[in-house]
Amino acid sequence: ILNVEQSPQSLHVQEGDSTNFTCSFPSSNFYALHWYRWETAKSPEALFVMTLNGDEKKKGRISATLNTKEGYSYLYIKGSQPEDSATYLCAFTRGNQFYFGTGTSLTVIP
């Protein structure tokens, strides 16, 4: 079983604050790194798929970076809004298998 770690486990921020969290994964035999947003009682929503070292992806106020050599990815949220409250999951893939972290639970306080 591959170890994918996410930190922090949970996070509370004020509306308007920017925030970031980390996904750490094995740096060997890397294939892709996925980020998902998971709101309560809904399906996890795919945010980004990143495959190349140095990749940066952006979707609105959310962006992500990837460092495959050291085995980490950062997810950034600029100007957090209450609707950003969710659990953010990362998944490392090797071959066709996904290995998930336990997620970072973000609560944005109005």
Partner 1 sequence: GAVVSQHPSWVICKSGTSVKIECRSLDFQATTMFWYRQFPKQSLMLMATSNEGSKATYEQGVEKDKFLINHASLTLSTLTVTSAHPEDSSFYICSASVTSGSETQYFGPGTRLLVL
Q: What does the binding site for partner 1 look like in residue numbers (CB under 8 A)? A: 4, 31-32, 34, 36, 41-44, 46, 49, 89, 93, 95-103
Q: What share of the chain is helix, strand, coil (3-state, %, to 5)?
A: 5, 55, 40
Laid out side by side, the sheet with 56-59 consists of: 5-7, 19-24, 72-77, 62-67, 56-59
> What is the nearest approach in angstroms of partner 1 to the Cβ of residue 10?
11
Tell me the closest approach of the beta carbon of residue 41 to partner 1, in angstroms. Answer: 7
Cβ nearer to partner 1, comparing 76 with 100? 100
Output 64 or 89, the one with its CB closest to partner 1.
89
**Number of H helices and number of E strands within the chain?**
0, 11
- Nearest CB to partner 1, comparing residues 4 and 106: 4
Tokens of 98: 């996904």
